[in-house]
Amino acid sequence: MNKFKLWISVFRLRTLPLSLSGIIIAGSIAYYNGYFDVIIFSLAILVTLGLQILSNLANDYGDGVKGTDNRNRIGPERGIQSGKISPKEMFDAIKINIIVLIFLIFMLIFSAFGTHHFLSSIVFFILGFMAIYAALRYTIGETAYGYRGLGDLMVFLFFGIISVLGAYYLFAKSLEHVLIMPACIVGLLSTAVLNLNNMRDLKSDTESDKITVAVKLGLIKAKNYHAFLLIFALILGMLFSLLYYRSLMNLLFLVTFIPIVRHIVFVYKVKEVKELDSQLKILALSTFVLSLTLGLSFIYNGM
């Protein structure tokens, strides 16, 4: 594998669609309410992708220098783990990513608020830097929160609540109660993706003293926790389709429940954690398709 292809693999492109789920839902609801702006949407997408790539690079660096990514790890080989990218090269890539992100965040906030809404601009600058800090501190540093069982909470907040509510506010300069359930659904599904990843890495994380929720619970209880996250998300989805029903298009996103239910059954029956690796793409894509179909229902009803 040449260096370019190696860096592309380090970006972990398969994780990117999941990160866009909250932005897609927020943009679609903004369209329904007449607030959509293509420039804000495009910049929000770029910022989100940049944050996800930063998180992937930082995780590669943090787990790599700590030795968590060792020969016992299941899943795609990471950059530092492979020995083909040095920690210094990875750290330099992180710094470049942060510089680009700061520029994109500035452009996004300026596009959304201009020279008005000064307080909102300050709040979103703070949120932007908090997101950068959270992406870095998941695995980097002695007090990395990903090593203390706090990763699930942070994913729920940043991929669900902040992603949906924050992105919508950029469009509308206000919030709507209709956002709460979709934000929780995306947050729960995204947390389930992280938990699935942590169940897969249960052995290597335990040996490396990386205390994730899955490590704390053990495999059996982690499976129960996984089922709870997904079933709760499905229940919220069904309630949302009933409470905000406008047409049959509102039910379109329910088709994504089929692969998610099949996934729950598969995980429950798994004996070897290495079998969970194939499910990461299924659950992440199911979440992404759910956001697309839910968004399409709002766009359709807003036409």
pLDDT digits (tens, 9 = 90+) for 206-232: 888 889 999 999 999 999 999 999 999
pLDDT attached to residue 46? 97
Q: Please give the model's pTM, rounded to 2 decimal places.
A: 0.92
Residue from 157, 164, 169 nearest 123 by CA: 169
Q: Which residue has the higher pLDDT, 164 or 248?
A: 164
pLDDT attached to residue 284? 95
pLDDT attached to residue 7? 81
- Determine contact, residues 300/31, Cβ cutoff 8 Å: no
Q: Which residue has the higher pLDDT, 167 or 85?
A: 167
In tens, the pLDDT along 15-53 reads: 899 999 999 999 999 999 999 999 999 999 999 999 999
pLDDT greater than 60 at residue 1: no
Tell me the average pLDDT across 43-67. 90
Beta strands in 138-286 (DSSP E): none
d(CA 90, CA 117): 37
pLDDT greater than 70 at residue 172: yes
Q: Is 99 exposed, middle or buried (0-12, 13-18, 19+ CB in 10 A)?
A: exposed
Tell me the average pLDDT across 164-173. 97
In tens, the pLDDT along 67-88 reads: 666 666 666 666 777 777 888 9
The residues, ordered by sequence, that sit 6+ positions from 242 with a Cβ below 8 Å of its Cβ are none
Q: How many residues does the chain have?
A: 303
In tens, the pLDDT along 233-290 reads: 999 999 999 998 888 888 889 999 999 999 999 999 998 888 998 999 999 999 999 9
Alpha helices in 138-179 (DSSP H): 151-155, 167-172
pLDDT attached to residue 250? 86
d(CA 173, CA 155): 24
pLDDT attached to residue 81? 77
pLDDT attached to residue 76? 66
pLDDT attached to residue 72? 61
pLDDT greater than 80 at residue 3: no
Tell me the average pLDDT across 177-190. 96
Phi, psi (rounded to 5 degrees) for 164:
-75, -55
In tens, the pLDDT along 96-142 reads: 999 999 999 999 999 999 988 899 999 999 999 999 999 999 988 88
**What's the pLDDT band for 4 if we cut at 50, 70, 90?**
confident
pLDDT attached to residue 215? 95
Tell me the average pLDDT across 161-187. 96
